[in-house]
Amino acid sequence: MKYIAIILLVALGIYLYKRAKRLAEDEQEQSSMPAEKEIFDEPKADDTQETDANSAQEARISDAATAEIRVDSKAEDVDTAKPVDDGLTFETKDSLEVKEDLAPSEPEVKPEPAEDEPKVARVAVTDESWANEKLTLALSEYRGTSDNTIKHVGLLGAIAECYKQRKQTQYKEYGAALSPYYLSLFAVLESPSSHKGIGFMHLSTLLNDCGDFASAIDVCRKAIEYDLSDGTVTGFEGRIIRIEKAKAKSLK
């Protein structure tokens, strides 16, 4: 219907334009005639006024039709510029940035920490002026090397000397205090099970004599894990039983 109305308005405008043009031509022809004819053929005032009124009315109709055609043309231009396909959506830059922010970020892969080499606890240097020559030499051998095998020999000699002198309180307590250092060093030896269990036997006795029964039992259990022997028939299992009896006796 819109297009039909536009066509009709255009046709009406053309018709009015041609009619106005024809009237203008007629007036021009009349003005070019001889003066005598104008005098004798002068139109009546009423006819002239009617003609002018009709011309003004036709001009107004033509202007209105032209304005309506322009408005309809602008409306068509607006409709043409508007996207026809409502199914298409356009995302702005801001919406894309929001989507990127909401997207789950990939978990950061953290490198696994490298396994540190087992640390060996070292016996601290204290006032050892009371120690005899054998204990002093053994401790010097232990502290003067970085080789774990040589360190083991030196520390084992220090424990053995404290075991021999365990009747003296300083030796007994010092030897018992060497227990965690010996266990730490023994664990890093190349083949712990190939060694004898003499060090574990001496330490369990020193700890038992100091009244530290729980630590003495732990030392025996460690020796059993390494499949070591204390040189007796009952082994470290029998030693644990004897330590538990000594513990029970101390509680009475």
Q: What is the pLDDT of residues 32-56, one digit of tens each?
A: 655 444 444 444 444 444 445 555 5
Same domain, 137 and 245: yes
Structure tokens at 145: 């090397």
Does any domain span residue 124?
no
Question: Is residue 57 over pLDDT 50?
Answer: yes
Q: Alpha helix locations (H) across 41-178?
A: 45-81, 93-102, 133-143, 148-164, 169-177
Same domain, 12 and 77: yes
Residue 28: the pLDDT is 73
Q: What is the pLDDT of residues 117-128, one digit of tens each?
A: 456 666 665 778
Does any domain span residue 233?
yes
**What's the mean pLDDT when you consider all of the chain?**
76
> Cα separation of 10 and 54, whole Å?
20
**Residue 72: Cβ within 10 Å count:** 15
Question: Is residue 31 over pLDDT 70?
Answer: no
Determine the structural domain holding residue 70 and report its residue range.
2-81
Same domain, 142 and 235: yes
Same domain, 139 and 77: no
Residue 98: the pLDDT is 46
206 or 88, higher pLDDT: 206
The residue assigned the tokens 């039983």 is: 241
249 or 45, higher pLDDT: 249
As a dihedral over the C-alpha atoms of residue 222, residue 226, residue 230, residue 236, rounded to 10 degrees, the angle is 50
Tally of structural domains, the chain: 2
Residue 45: the pLDDT is 44
Q: How confident is the model at residue 66 (pLDDT cuts 50, 70, 90)?
A: low
Question: Is residue 142 over pLDDT 70?
Answer: yes
Q: Count H helices, E strands: the chain?
A: 11, 0
